[in-house]
Amino acid sequence: MEQVTIKESIYGDQRPALEQACAALSSHIAQIRAEMTEELGMDPVEHYLTRIKGEESMREKCVRKGLPVTTDSALNIIKDAIGVRVVCAFVDDVYEIRRRLKESGKYEFVTEKDYIRHAKPNGYRSYHIIIRISGRYYAEIQLRTISMDTWAALEHHLKYKKEVGGKTELIVQELKRCADELASTDLSMQTIRDMILEQQ
């Protein structure tokens, strides 16, 4: 009988603890969501996703970054073994969730990048945070609105369409224009909600 070789996990024996840390972060976000829903009278989160980066994806990232394919690289050098994406209805909710995460004192905030106020040149908007949980495991949190999430998903699909001929520059310009229009809509929707809350 042919022997099947089982490849050892890139996360070594840390996988179960990594999953526990991811579950704890997910539970905390759910708690924040419930608190804000009660206070606002509406759910601030459209949806959120959590994941442990796949084994092969993590191995490929190590290779791409010129790192040894080891547990140390996966957990201590690359900082998105745990990934969370929170998609909010309004811009203010993005910053409020970020505030509550930080003020909880549960995490070490390692880096923050505000691509909402300072969008990338292509129009990409999102709020990125790298945190460390229990002084051990890194997680990347992306906070964005529904329109930002939709734009990012569509831009990702279009980026991998190879046969665009000589229209690449025009496509880039159009994507940027769409991103700016969506950002303007986000601000308008935020203003409308603020007016409704003031009346209440």
Answer yes or no: is pLDDT of 151 > 50: yes
What is this structure's pTM? 0.88
What is residue 159's predicted lDDT score, i.e. its pLDDT? 72
Structural domain of 100: 1-200
Answer yes or no: is pLDDT of 128 > 60: yes
What token pair was written down for 44?
Answer: 């601030």
Domains: count for the chain: 1
- Judged on CB neighbours under 10 Å (0-12, 13-18, 19+), 129 is buried
Q: In 3D, which of 101, 94, 100 has the Cα closest to residue 115?
A: 94
What is residue 162's predicted lDDT score, i.e. its pLDDT? 53
Query: What SS3 class is residue 54?
Result: coil
Alpha-carbon distances of 110 from 2, 51, 133, rounded to whole Å = 47, 19, 10
Average predicted confidence (pLDDT) for the chain? 91
What token pair was written down for 127?
Answer: 């709020």
Query: What SS3 class is residue 88?
Result: strand
Q: What is the CATH number of the domain that holds 109?
A: 3.30.460.10
- Place 59 in a pLDDT band, splitting at 50, 70 and 90: very high
What is residue 188's predicted lDDT score, i.e. its pLDDT? 94
